[in-house]
């Protein structure tokens, strides 16, 4: 029997992406130039037919055996969804934009107040220009300088061109996926069906005992959804069977729930240590679900990269209160999963008093470790305003890794796996490799060293040359 492999699924972000363009650069950073994983003389990869999704546009990138660790092979896949996002409308984008910016200041998170104010200013400026262009004579009669009235149509025309040629093809993806309006529902459904099918087919193939899912930008939102819906579709009878009394899965689940209680109840000072203990317990629990000829769940990691989930209170919920209510209702999964029951014995499995239980439908981050990479931002344009920390919104078991803005400062949203062959290795590349954990380290301490015990990991020059 062939040795099991690891599947790495990359989900691309917004824009008119071409199939495989994103994946090749990602593979160079995650595999080809990682001397801690593969020796430079054995880092070849091969492009093979991608028979899982059936798309003739996609390829499976496969590797040799790794040089270190358990010397396994890896298959890299791209979950490509851009072809589903055709026919963006200006009206849909404007409705989504108005929903984001036309809200009370109290509903805007502190870190986004400057960007929100800038966006409101642009909307007001556009409205003023429109009035000047359409009611030029009236505006002139009110004393508006004539050069302003005359220039308004020209500025509007230039803005319209930029809006249609540049902004709509990019932001239109986010507007449609994040807006459950009737004309978007079918597209959202198809993207999710495609992604869940990919996860299920990789699991059923028998070739893999581990899947790592990485999502960049809007792809991280899609990744979060896919794992949730794939978890919801697991066979309940098989889930109950694997958690038989005194089984390895049941023992690991009980230990994981105990770690979750300790994490949720921990003081701020104790929380990093409790987070590490919970994430280590997640890995042990995952192994029990990934065993057997037909494994139940093999997705071990979610890595969100430059994720707009940091703005979920605006993008997904109506506000922060609404988002937390939806998490509490188990509509949106958190890490750790929502605990229920009596205070001293809260669980995310049921029936809560039984010795034989199974995790509830919102518990995908029981066996799946969630790591989030982000660049902070300054003055909107420097760093990555799209991204941000997630643990305050999605639970204390999410490990946030803050990456450097770098010098000279610039927009970093597309730089998460840039220049992977540079010497010394940039901290951003080191952090990406550790988050993916292709070497399958069993503990956060082994992955991140002393930094694992900190509230947030800061990728700095200490990570160079890892």
Looking at per-residue confidence, does 291 or 269 come out higher? 269
Question: Exposed, middle or buried, 324 (CB in 10 Å: 0-12/13-18/19+)?
Answer: middle
Sequence-ordered list of residues with C-beta below 8 angstroms from that of 321, at least 6 positions apart, any chain:
none
Domains in the chain, CATH or no CATH each: 5-85+184-235+299-342+368-437 (3.40.50)
pLDDT of residue 69: 81
**Does residue 466 surpass a pLDDT of 80?**
no
Beta strands in 267-416 (DSSP E): 299-305, 349-350, 358-359, 369-374, 377-378, 382-383, 399-402
Contact yes or no for 378/405 (Cβ under 8 A): yes
What tens digit of pLDDT does each residue of 5-45 get? Answer: 999 999 999 876 889 999 999 999 999 999 999 999 999 99
Q: How far apart are CA 419 and CA 374, in angstroms?
A: 17
pLDDT of residue 164: 46
Sequence-ordered list of residues with C-beta below 8 angstroms from that of 27, at least 6 positions apart, any chain:
45, 61, 76
3-state secondary structure of 50: coil
Q: How far apart are CA 438 and CA 7, in angstroms?
A: 10
Least confident of 203-217, 323-337, 348-362, 436-450: 348-362
Kindly state the tokens that stand for 177.
């996926």
**Does residue 170 surpass a pLDDT of 60?**
no
Short-list 149, 124, 338, CA closest to 228: 338
Contact yes or no for 105/319 (Cβ under 8 A): no
What tens digit of pLDDT does each residue of 369-385 get? Answer: 999 999 998 877 899 98
Sequence-ordered list of residues with C-beta below 8 angstroms from that of 139, at least 6 positions apart, any chain:
131, 132, 149
3-state secondary structure of 364: coil
- Span 228-254, mean pLDDT? 94
**Does residue 343 surpass a pLDDT of 80?**
no
């Amino acid at each position: 029997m062939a040795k099991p492999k690891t599947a790495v699924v990359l989900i691309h972000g917004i824009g008119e992406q071409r199939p495989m363009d994103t994946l090749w650069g990602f593979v160079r950073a995650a595999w080809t130039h990682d001397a801690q994983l593969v020796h430079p003389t054995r880092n070849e990869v091969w492009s093979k037919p991608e028979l899982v999704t059936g798309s003739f546009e996609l390829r499976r990138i496969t590797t040799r055996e790794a040089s270190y660790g358990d010397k396994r092979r890896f298959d890299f896949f791209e979950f490509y969804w851009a072809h589903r996002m055709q026919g963006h409308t200006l009206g849909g984008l404007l409705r989504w934009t108005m929903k984001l910016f036309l809200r009370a200041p109290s509903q805007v998170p502190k870190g986004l107040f400057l960007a929100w104010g800038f966006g409101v200013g642009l909307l007001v400026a556009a409205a003023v220009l429109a009035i000047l262009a359409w009611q030029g004579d009236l505006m002139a009669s009110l004393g508006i300088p004539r050069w302003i009235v005359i220039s308004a149509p020209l500025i509007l025309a230039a803005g319209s061109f930029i809006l249609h040629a540049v902004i709509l093809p990019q932001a239109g993806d986010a507007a449609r996926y994040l807006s459950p309006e009737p004309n978007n529902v079918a597209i959202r459904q198809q993207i999710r069906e495609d992604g869940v099918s990919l996860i299920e087919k990789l699991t059923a193939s028998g070739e893999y005992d581990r899947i790592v899912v990485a999502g960049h930008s809007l792809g991280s939102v899609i990744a979060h959804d896919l794992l949730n819906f794939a978890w919801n579709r697991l066979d309940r009878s098989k889930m109950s069977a694997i958690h038989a009394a005194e089984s390895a899965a049941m023992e690991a689940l009980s230990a994981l729930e105990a770690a979750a209680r300790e994490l949720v109840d921990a003081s701020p000072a104790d929380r990093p240590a409790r987070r590490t203990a919970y994430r280590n317990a997640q890995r042990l629990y995952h192994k029990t679900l990934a065993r057997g000829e037909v494994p139940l769940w093999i997705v071990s990691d979610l890595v969100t990269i430059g994720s707009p989930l940091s703005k979920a209170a605006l993008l997904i919920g109506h506000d922060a209160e609404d988002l937390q209510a939806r998490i509490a209702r188990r509509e949106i999964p958190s890490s750790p999963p929502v605990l229920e029951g009596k205070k001293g014995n809260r669980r995310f499995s049921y029936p809560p008093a039984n010795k034989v239980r199974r995790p509830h439908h919102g518990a995908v981050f029981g066996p799946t470790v969630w790591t989030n990479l982000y660049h902070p931002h300054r003055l909107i344009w420097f760093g990555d305003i799209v991204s941000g920390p997630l643990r305050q919104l999605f639970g204390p078991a999410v490990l946030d890794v803050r990456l450097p803005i770098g010098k000279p400062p610039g927009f970093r949203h597309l730089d998460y796996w840039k220049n992977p062959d540079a010497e010394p290795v940039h901290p951003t590349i080191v952090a990406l490799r550790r988050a993916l954990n292709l070497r399958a380290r069993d503990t956060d301490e082994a992955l991140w060293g002393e930094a694992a015990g900190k509230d947030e990991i800061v990728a700095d020059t200490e990570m160079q040359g890892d």
